[in-house]
Amino acid sequence: MRVLGVDPGSRFMGYGVVEERRGRLTHVGHGVIKVDPDAPLPHRLMVLHAELAGALSKYRPEAVSVEGVFTFRNARSALVLGHARGVALLAAAQKGLPVFEYPPARVKRSVGAGGADGKDAVARMVCALLKLEAIERADASDALAVALCHLNQGRAAGLVVGTSRSARSKSRKGAAALLADRLSPSYRRPEAR
């Protein structure tokens, strides 16, 4: 199972790709899409879309996970971030990929950082989990954390490749069912009664 995580932003958008291989989480790649902060918003969104679409084509993930919205004091900042998130959702949808969203607090907990911990703590935990020496920007480490969060959710639900059929059949609700179907083509749901 290969997941591309996205840390959305209108000036810097981080992405990180993690794969579950034989029960191990493996770093595949990561990057930060940087745009000219002085460019008009439509141009920045176009660049974000093109670059993220390129990363999706290069890494060919099976799912995309995006950090969810959190509370902003500044309505304009929230609106601009919403545009960037929309670009990420659109790029994934155009590739026919399922998209999963996770709140920032859940992303932090999934890598072992506390809710009050900052980006440095998340970066340290991501590096430890993926056996990386360092990650150059917090945008990339946050994106890797979002990908790890999704894989950890799937592991907890028994939806990762290699789990038993009975474990998969216990968790067939909404997006989890879609993920299970994508992971195992031979898996069939029982007929409705």
* Burial state string for 153-171 with b = 16 or more CB within 10 A and e = fewer than 16: bbeebbbbeebeeeebeeb
Helix (H) or strand (E) holding 2: strand 2-7
Give every CB contact of residue 20 below 8 A, 6+ residues apart in sequence: 1, 2, 26, 151, 154, 155, 160, 161
Residues designated catalytic: 7, 67, 139
| Residue 98: half-sphere exposure toward Cβ, Cα within 13 Å | 17
Q: Degrees (nearest 5) of the Cα angle 132, 34, 47? A: 125
Q: In this structure, what DSSP letter does residue 72 have?
A: -
Contact 61, 43 (CB under 8 A): no
